[in-house]
């Protein structure tokens, strides 16, 4: 049986060699005598094929993995993304090459759901504005009655997407007295019913939601799905929260909606361009709370993502398909099965 070779994208360590994220524990791989670990340095933001020659697995943070990243050695079985977004991975190229694209839904489920709730609470209680006027002394305190918050009991929490994260949002929000609605063409009706969620049309989701949270992956189907036309359907007292991917929301449209009072406010952790430029017009508005695509970044989140990626590598080493495979068709491909079989205890 060959020694299992695992590459980590080099952004998992700082220039001085210390871990970028100390809560990420790769010691189960580092301490395994059957594993050789190597670092893969990105070139112009992309992992080069030369860095992955002879590797069986890659754990990938920020750099891109493209068709040009696939090594000629034909050993690579999986690209394990650190997180659930995989827009930096050419999934089609992976599928053609018999390489699994793996994500970590269990690692981000609760942390991202908590970040959605954080936005809901901060927006409804006018937290950022109240923080600012408090720091102004008596003059600011005199303005506090101008910034009345909004109670949550009886309000409608809508989810665009009721998958891994969307369902968890409803679980963590259950004690607050919301009515729950969701739109998702791939929804499991039994899951929705168990969470007390009414499945509705896309238009009704926008019309009825007091808080609308976006929890869908970025695809051609979802790109710009939150647009000016749909924002115009919303209540002027409603809030939009996006913790998924920036391009799902038409950024110009939501700026105009916020500026013109079409909706009351927004919580945005993601943007069409990242890092967002300092002169982004949204940053000049008082009714939006923003975060640098990092609101869910906690020790819990990163430890969970790391553990999930470690588990994926260990599964491959045991000759098993890992959990969290995005391109499920690859599991039936002859090339993937052949690579996996060499590590199977029963020889495949």
Last residue of a domain, one of 290, 310, 331: 290
Mean pLDDT per 10-residue run, the chain (348 residues)? Answer: 90 95 96 96 97 97 97 96 93 97 96 98 97 97 96 98 97 98 97 98 98 95 98 98 97 98 98 97 97 96 97 95 96 94 70
Could you tell me if 150 and 61 lie in one domain?
Answer: no
208 included as an active-site residue: no
Last residue of a domain, one of 248, 266, 290: 290
Q: Are strands 211-214 and 197-199 parallel, antiparallel or unpaired?
A: unpaired
Compute the C-alpha angle 12/16/19, nearest 5°. 30
| 346 occurs within a structural domain | no
Could you tell me if 321 and 285 lie in one domain?
Answer: no
5 included as an active-site residue: no
Residue-level pLDDT at 85: 87
Could you tell me if 81 and 130 lie in one domain?
Answer: no
Could you tell me if 122 and 209 lie in one domain?
Answer: yes
Could you tell me if 13 and 42 lie in one domain?
Answer: yes
Could you tell me if 80 and 226 lie in one domain?
Answer: no
How many structural domains does the chain have? 2
Residue-level pLDDT at 330: 97
Look up the pTM and report it: 0.90
| 167 occurs within a structural domain | yes
Q: Which of 3, 223, 274, 328 is catalytic?
A: 274
Could you tell me if 37 and 114 lie in one domain?
Answer: no
Query: What is the span of the domain harbouring residue 336?
Result: 4-103+298-341
Sheet holding 78-81: strands in order across?
35-40, 4-9, 57-60, 78-81, 100-102
274 included as an active-site residue: yes
Q: Which of 293, 320, 328, 339 is catalytic?
A: 293
| 39 occurs within a structural domain | yes
Could you tell me if 31 and 47 lie in one domain?
Answer: yes
181 has which bridge partners?
A: 158, 198
Q: Which of 245, 273, 323, 339 is catalytic?
A: 245
Could you tell me if 29 and 71 lie in one domain?
Answer: yes
């Amino acid at each position: 049986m060959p020694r299992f070779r695992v590459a980590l994208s080099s952004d998992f360590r700082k220039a001085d060699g210390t871990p970028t994220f100390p809560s990420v524990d790769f010691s189960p791989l580092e301490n395994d005598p059957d594993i050789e670990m190597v670092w893969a340095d990105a070139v112009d933001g992309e992992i080069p094929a030369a860095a992955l020659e002879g590797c069986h697995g890659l754990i990938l943070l920020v750099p891109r993995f493209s068709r040009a990243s696939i090594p000629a050695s034909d050993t690579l079985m999986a690209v394990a993304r650190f997180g659930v977004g995989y827009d930096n991975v050419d999934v089609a190229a992976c599928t053609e090459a018999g390489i699994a694209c793996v994500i970590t839904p269990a690692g981000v489920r609760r942390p991202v759901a908590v970040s959605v709730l954080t936005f809901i609470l901060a927006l409804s209680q006018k937290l950022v504005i109240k923080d600012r006027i408090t720091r102004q002394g008596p003059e600011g305190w005199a303005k506090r009655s101008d910034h009345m918050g909004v109670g949550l009991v009886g309000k409608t929490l809508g989810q665009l997407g009721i998958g891994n994260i969307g369902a968890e949002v409803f679980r963590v929000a259950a004690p607050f007295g919301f009515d729950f609605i969701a739109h998702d063409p791939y929804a499991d009706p039994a899951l929705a019913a168990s969470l007390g969620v009414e499945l509705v049309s896309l238009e009704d989701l926008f019309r009825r939601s007091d808080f609308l949270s976006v929890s869908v992956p970025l695809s051609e189907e979802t790109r710009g799905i939150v647009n000016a036309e749909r924002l115009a359907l919303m209540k002027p007292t409603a809030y939009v929260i996006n913790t998924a991917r920036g391009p799902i929301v038409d950024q110009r449209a939501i700026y105009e909606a916020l500026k013109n009072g079409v909706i009351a406010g927004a919580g945005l952790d993601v943007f069409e361009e990242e890092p967002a430029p300092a002169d982004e017009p949204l940053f000049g508005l008082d009714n939006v709370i923003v975060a640098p695509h990092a609101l869910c970044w906690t020790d819990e989140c990163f430890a969970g993502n790391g553990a999930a990626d470690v588990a994926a590598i260990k599964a491959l080493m045991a000759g098993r398909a890992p959990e969290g495979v995005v391109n499920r068709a690859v599991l039936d491909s002859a090339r993937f099965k052949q690579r996996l079989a060499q590590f199977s205890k029963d020889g495949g």
